[in-house]
Amino acid sequence: MIEQLRSHWQRLLGAERSDRAEGDPEQRLQRAAAALIMEVCRADFELHAEELESVRASLIELFRLDGDTADALLEIAQEESDALISIHPMVREVNAAFNAEQKADILRALWRAAWANRDLHKRQEAVIRHLADLLYVPHATFIRTKHEVLGDAADPD
């Protein structure tokens, strides 16, 4: 099962690089979301186990995946994040498929990943802000989701 998923995703990666829209749209969307969340985790140049667990939990929640599929997706997202040249193909996938409420869910997942180790790095916050802009998420939603996830830690005072 995992090898089939890996093979399918390798074909999707080739489709992305050539800008052809091949493959199952749901799997492309899952991979795109995983890649965006991984970008936040890697923004501080450290990858913590808590962040990976947060990404896994978010993928299960967002896409109603089983644990094995989420693990395979997470593994592929980790491998590919090193080779990622541009986030724009992933942003396009999410923008094309998600409504405002679903984009807020993605933003929540980004904040959870950044806050998983209880240390919000300024680079992680900058990446989330950039992604929010690219996903056309209103600033009010950006702030609301930050406060929902970080709670009192979101207030500088």
The pLDDT tens digits of the residues spanning 61-84 come to 999 999 999 999 999 888 877 778
3-state secondary structure 14-56: HHHHCCCCCCCHHHHHHHHHHHHHHHHHHCCCCCCHHHHHHHH
Query: What pLDDT was estimated at residue 25?
Result: 86
The pLDDT tens digits of the residues spanning 118-157 come to 999 999 999 999 999 999 999 999 999 999 999 877 665 5
109 pLDDT tier (thresholds 50, 70, 90): very high
Span 20-47, average pLDDT:
86
12 pLDDT tier (thresholds 50, 70, 90): low
Q: Where does residue 18 rank: exposed (0-12), middle (13-18), buried (19+ CB within 10 A)?
A: exposed
Least confident of 21-30, 68-77, 106-115, 142-151: 21-30
Tell me the percentage of the chain whose pLDDT exceeds 90.
71
The pLDDT tens digits of the residues spanning 44-55 come to 999 999 999 999
Query: What pLDDT was estimated at residue 110?
Result: 97
Is pLDDT larger for residue 85 or for residue 124?
124
